[in-house]
Every structure is written in structure tokens, then in C-alpha cells.
């Protein structure tokens, strides 16, 4: 039985300039769980991720990671974006070491730890390359290695593969599952892609808007790696799609929201 890592209890968020963005969010995330958050644009997905990361402050409720209240950004949670935010003048090795700058370890230890994670994401042959010499998918793997090197409790991902073409996206989804298994990471992913959510997640959280609340929490107990063409996979895709209640169209849905 996996233990709870992240606990959100009646979490709410308002910005000075807006109505309530999130209300009454109750969510527990377990160690090594892969949770995706889906919901229409503006329903508060990124805000929820930012709260978990400590980048925004709570307006209501409680939020803790590993039993400690989250009040500011820190090593407990690292955010990965669609834009990789690599420094172009630093090599892969030096970009991964960047996350370790505030750690109280020697230069040799930094190098060693970074090298280990570069190897984990399969880029050991590219350690001396600069970001401009890498494909988008490879750059995202560097960003993943940099996040892993910090050894956070949880990795938060805000549409990390949205800028990639389908082939690279599928490849990186597989890589992410492999890396997650090896590094035993806990991941929360915001995505607009229902297929991606079903492929990767142990649980899918569907938010509804105005204010953002949890509409549905769906466990996906299919073994990984998953077969996108399997009936079980299609069942979950359809269940999620139906919960958005789009309806009213004869067109084949593309399962993006």
C-alpha cells in the first residue's frame, strides 16, 4: 500500500482581480502515483499545479507535501513546462547541474549526480552538447533530468509535450513512464490530451469550471505500457470524453480539449 505524499484539504484560490478560481479541492496523491488533471481552458488546472508547487498561495484550506505545509517554492516540488527553459550557453551536463547550485555538495558530487540522471534519460552521449544541437524531445529529456537531479518529492508538469509532434510525444510518454518507474517519482501532469492522460496516469482528475472543482476522479487500473488500440483503453477515453458532455456533433471527436 503506497503512502500519501500530497494532501489538499478544502483548497480554494481567488486572485484579487478574479472570482474564485478554485473551490473545495480535496485531493490526496500517493507516493509514486501518476495523476493527470484534465479540464477545459481556464478551469484552474495550472493554478492547482502552482499551488502544489508553492508558486501561488492558498486562499482557503490546507495543502501539505510529506506532512509539511506548502508555503513557498522549494525542493519538495519541481515544475516542468512545455518550454524547456534550458540555458543555451550551457551544455547538457551544466544545465542539469544548474538545479544543484544551492545544494551543499562538492563540484565532483554535482557532476556525478547530474551524470547519473543524464544517463537515466538516455542522453549520456550528448552531455557535452548545447541545447541548440538537440531536438525538442531531447531538450525536454534534459529538463526532466534537471528536475530529477534535484530529487524532489514530486514533479509537476504543465503540458510538457504540447510543443512536440505526435511521434516525439509518444516516444517521450514512453520515456517518461520508464524514467518514472526507475526514479520512483510522483508526477502530477496537466494536459489537454485525453489520450495522453489515459496512457500515462494511474488516476485522472477532471475539473469543472467556475469555480474550478473536482468533477470526477477516475482510477485507471490498466497495466503499463498500455495499448492505445485496446478496448479497455478506448473505454477510458470515452468515459472521460463523455464526462465533458460535449455531445451535439456528428463529427468524430479528436479527444483533445
Ligand X SMILES: Nc1ncnc2c1ncn2[C@@H]1O[C@H](COP(=O)(O)OP(=O)(O)OP(=O)(O)O)[C@@H](O)[C@H]1O
Q: What does the binding site for ligand X look like in residue numbers (CB under 6 A)?
A: 15, 17-18, 21, 39, 41-47
Backbone angles phi, psi at 65, to 5 degrees: -120, 125
Taking alpha carbons only, the member of 127, 66, 76, 75 closest to residue 103 is: 75
| 205 within 8 A of 36, measured Cβ to Cβ | yes
The residue among 47 and 140 lying less far from ligand X, judged by its C-beta, is: 47
Question: DSSP secondary-structure letter at 128?
Answer: T
The residue among 114 and 206 lying less far from ligand X, judged by its C-beta, is: 206
Q: Smallest distance, Å, CB 74 to ligand X? A: 20
Q: Smallest distance, Å, CB 34 to ligand X? A: 19
For 236, the grid coordinates are 477510458
The residue among 15 and 246 lying less far from ligand X, judged by its C-beta, is: 15
3-class state of residue 108 by DSSP: helix
Q: Smallest distance, Å, CB 37 to ligand X? A: 8
Q: Smallest distance, Å, CB 45 to ligand X? A: 4
For 239, the grid coordinates are 468515459
The residue among 162 and 177 lying less far from ligand X, judged by its C-beta, is: 162
Q: Smallest distance, Å, CB 230 to ligand X? A: 28
Residue 110: other Cβ atoms inside 10 A: 20
Q: Smallest distance, Å, CB 1 to ligand X? A: 32
Backbone angles phi, psi at 200, to 5 degrees: -100, -30
| Integer Cα distance of 20 and 59 in angstroms | 9
| N- to C-terminal Cα separation, the chain | 33
Cβ neighbours for 35, distance < 8 A, ≥ 6 positions apart? 29, 187, 188, 189, 201, 202, 203, 204, 205
Q: Smallest distance, Å, CB 49 to ligand X? A: 8
The residue among 15 and 235 lying less far from ligand X, judged by its C-beta, is: 15
The residue among 57 and 135 lying less far from ligand X, judged by its C-beta, is: 57
Starting from the edge strand earliest in sequence, which strands make up the sheet with 20-30, in order? 20-30, 4-14, 60-65, 68-69
| 39 within 8 A of 207, measured Cβ to Cβ | yes
The residue among 47 and 91 lying less far from ligand X, judged by its C-beta, is: 47
Q: Is the dihedral of CA 221, 175, 77, 193 positive or negative?
A: negative
Amino acid at each position: 500500500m503506497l503512502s500519501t505524499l500530497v494532501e489538499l484539504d478544502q483548497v480554494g484560490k481567488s486572485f484579487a482581480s478574479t472570482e474564485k478560481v478554485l473551490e473545495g479541492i480535496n485531493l490526496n496523491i500517493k507516493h509514486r502515483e501518476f495523476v493527470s488533471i484534465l479540464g477545459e481552458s481556464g478551469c484552474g488546472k495550472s493554478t492547482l499545479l502552482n499551488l502544489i508547487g508553492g508558486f501561488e498561495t492558498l486562499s482557503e484550506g490546507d495543502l501539505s507535501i510529506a506532512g509539511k505545509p506548502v508555503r513557498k517554492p522549494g525542493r519538495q516540488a519541481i515544475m516542468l513546462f512545455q518550454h524547456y527553459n534550458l540555458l543555451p550557453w550551457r551544455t547538457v551536463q551544466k544545465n542539469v547541474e544548474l538545479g544543484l547550485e544551492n545544494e551543499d555538495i562538492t563540484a565532483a558530487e554535482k557532476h556525478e549526480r547530474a551524470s547519473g540522471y543524464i544517463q537515466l534519460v538516455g542522453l549520456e552521449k550528448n552531455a557535452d552538447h548545447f541545447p541548440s544541437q538537440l531536438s525538442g524531445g531531447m531538450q525536454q529529456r534534459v529538463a526532466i533530468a534537471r528536475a530529477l537531479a534535484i530529487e524532489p518529492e514530486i514533479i509537476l508538469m504543465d503540458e510538457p509535450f504540447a510543443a512536440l509532434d505526435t511521434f516525439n510525444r509518444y516516444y517521450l510518454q514512453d520515456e517518461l513512464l520508464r524514467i518514472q518507474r526507475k526514479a520512483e517519482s510522483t508526477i502530477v501532469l496537466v494536459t489537454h490530451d485525453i489520450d495522453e492522460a489515459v496512457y500515462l496516469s494511474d488516476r485522472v482528475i477532471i475539473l469543472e469550471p467556475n469555480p474550478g472543482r473536482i468533477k470526477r476522479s477516475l482510477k485507471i487500473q490498466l497495466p503499463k505500457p498500455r495499448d492505445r488500440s485496446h478496448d479497455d483503453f478506448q473505454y477510458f477515453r470515452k468515459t472521460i470524453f463523455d464526462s465533458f458532455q460535449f455531445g451535439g456533433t456528428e463529427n468524430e471527436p479528436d479527444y483533445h480539449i
